Every structure is written in structure tokens, then in C-alpha cells.
């Protein structure tokens, strides 16, 4: 094999901006817009790329003292499944930090707070067709709290069930193909890898920088510059 071997520190995603020649909104949605960009390539050509412009999200892998993960059963209409998922939500509140968003989602969906917050992983969910990035937090030291004032349970959340599942059983379900939501698959596997690798106590602080959000800001500024 002639592939180049990446050295220490070289296995990293590199923010890169190819010039946007034009930007067209093909359809507007409640959460995402479907857009078409004409992008200049390094060889001087142009290409069209259609994708969903997404605000981003946070997800919380909440682990109790008995090695059980807090999950919710939530209906997802596009796939026609009631999925097992971690508490999660959109980054759609102005001025709210990513950690604050995760803490709010844990309280809203699972009626829990946590004393210990760590950063588990960051992930692009489907970078070939949408701009969504998700930050996964590990929450421990769980305690019951009421839902935040003003939060209204509606839509899919009206039929949402809060559950506890042993981490080992959750992993069995993932490897057997019975558990398929990308948030719980990525989050649970990242948690298990961190445990097995002895990384739990060296995970990044919960308020660490998030390069994907900085890149998103630059991308939106480039789009706005075309107006």
C-alpha cells in the first residue's frame, strides 16, 4: 500500500473554505433550509452542491452510578421508527452556550441535572448532505430536577418515554443492529471506548472550543456576503 502514514498529531480535520460563487435557497423549513451553492474548485472549475443548512445540536450521554445510560424513546417520522436516543436538541437559542444547551436539554427531556460534565466527542452527522454538527457531552452525578419554566411538551415529545438501559445492554443492541439512532450509537460507543482506554478522567473540559462552530460562522458569513 502506498498511502501516506499520518504521524502524531496529523490525524485532524482541517477547516477549508472553497469560494462560494452563488447561493440559492431551494426550500425553507422549520429547522433546516435546503440550499444550492456554486463552489469554485482548486482546479478553477465550478460545482453545484445541494445540502441542508442546519443549526447544529447537542446530545447528552447521561450515565448513572450503576452504569446505566439515560435514554428516551422518540418517534422519528422520516425513518418510521420510535428510536432509542440520548437527550438532545438544537442549538437554536441566541446567546446560549453549548454546555448550557446540553444542560437545558437534559432537564427538559429527562428531568435531570448533573454535577460532572465532560466533553465526549464532536461529530458531523452527514457532511456530504447537511451541515449539522453535534457535540456530545458526558454527564455524571445525576439528580432529579423539574422541567425548566416555560418548557412546553409538544409534538413527538408528548409520546416520549424516559428510560434507563445498562450500558452493556445498549452496546449489545447497537452491535446487533437493534439500536440505530446516530446520536446513541456514536455516544455509547465513544463512552465505551473512553472507558476501555482509560480516558474518562482526561476527557476535554465541557467548555472546550468547538472548531466546527467557528467554521459554520465563517460559512454563513461567506453566504451573507453574496447577498
Sorted by where each begins, the domain ranges of the chain are: 16-53, 57-205
Does residue 149 carry a pLDDT above 90? no
Q: What is the pTM of this model?
A: 0.94
* pLDDT value of residue 212: 94
Interval 3-19: pLDDT, tens:
999 999 999 999 999 99
Residue 32 CA: distances (Å) to CA of 29, 56, 82, 118, 213: 5, 10, 22, 28, 16
* pLDDT value of residue 152: 76
Report yes or no: 10 and 17 within 8 Å, Cβ to Cβ.
Answer: no
* pLDDT value of residue 151: 76
* pLDDT value of residue 44: 94
Please give the average per-residue pLDDT across 106-130, as a whole number: 96
Interval 28-64: pLDDT, tens:
999 999 999 999 999 999 999 999 999 999 999 999 9
Backbone angles phi, psi at 175, to 5 degrees: -70, -25
Does residue 120 carry a pLDDT above 80? yes
Report yes or no: 85 and 187 within 8 Å, Cβ to Cβ.
Answer: no
Report yes or no: 148 and 137 within 8 Å, Cβ to Cβ.
Answer: no
* pLDDT value of residue 79: 95
Q: What share of the chain is helix, strand, coil (3-state, %, to 5)?
A: 25, 35, 35
Please give the average per-residue pLDDT across 78-88, as a whole number: 96
Fold assignment, 57-205: Nucleoside Triphosphate Pyrophosphohydrolase (3.90.79)
Predicted confidence band of residue 165 (pLDDT cuts 50, 70, 90): very high
Residues labelled as active-site residues = 157
Does residue 192 carry a pLDDT above 80? yes
Backbone angles phi, psi at 85, to 5 degrees: -140, 160
* pLDDT value of residue 200: 93
Across all residues in the chain, what is the average pLDDT?
Answer: 95
Does residue 1 carry a pLDDT above 90? no
Amino acid at each position: 500500500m502506498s498511502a501516506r502514514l499520518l504521524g502524531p498529531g496529523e490525524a485532524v480535520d482541517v477547516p477549508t473554505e472553497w469560494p462560494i460563487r452563488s447561493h440559492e435557497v431551494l426550500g425553507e423549513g422549520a429547522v433546516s433550509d435546503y440550499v444550492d451553492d456554486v463552489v469554485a474548485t482548486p482546479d478553477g472549475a465550478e460545482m453545484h452542491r445541494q445540502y441542508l443548512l442546519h443549526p447544529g445540536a447537542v446530545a447528552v450521554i447521561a450515565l448513572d452510578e450503576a452504569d446505566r445510560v439515560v435514554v428516551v424513546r422518540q418517534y422519528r417520522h422520516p425513518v418510521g421508527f420510535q428510536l432509542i436516543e440520548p437527550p438532545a436538541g438544537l442549538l437554536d437559542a441566541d446567546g446560549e452556550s453549548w454546555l448550557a444547551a446540553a444542560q437545558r436539554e437534559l432537564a427538559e427531556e429527562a428531568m435531570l441535572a448533573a454535577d460532572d460534565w465532560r466533553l465526549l466527542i464532536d461529530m458531523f452527522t452527514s457532511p456530504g448532505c447537511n451541515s449539522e454538527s453535534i457535540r456530545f457531552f458526558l454527564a455524571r452525578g445525576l439528580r432529579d430536577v423539574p422541567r425548566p419554566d416555560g418548557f412546553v411538551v409538544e409534538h413527538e415529545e408528548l409520546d416520549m418515554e424516559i428510560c434507563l438501559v445498562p450500558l452493556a445492554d445498549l452496546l449489545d443492541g447497537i452491535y446487533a443492529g437493534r439500536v440505530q439512532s446516530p446520536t446513541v450509537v456514536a455516544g455509547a460507543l465513544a463512552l465505551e471506548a473512553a472507558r476501555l482506554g482509560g480516558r474518562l478522567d482526561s476527557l476535554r473540559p465541557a467548555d472546550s472550543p468547538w472548531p466546527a462552530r467557528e467554521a459554520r460562522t465563517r460559512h454563513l458569513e461567506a453566504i451573507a456576503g453574496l447577498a
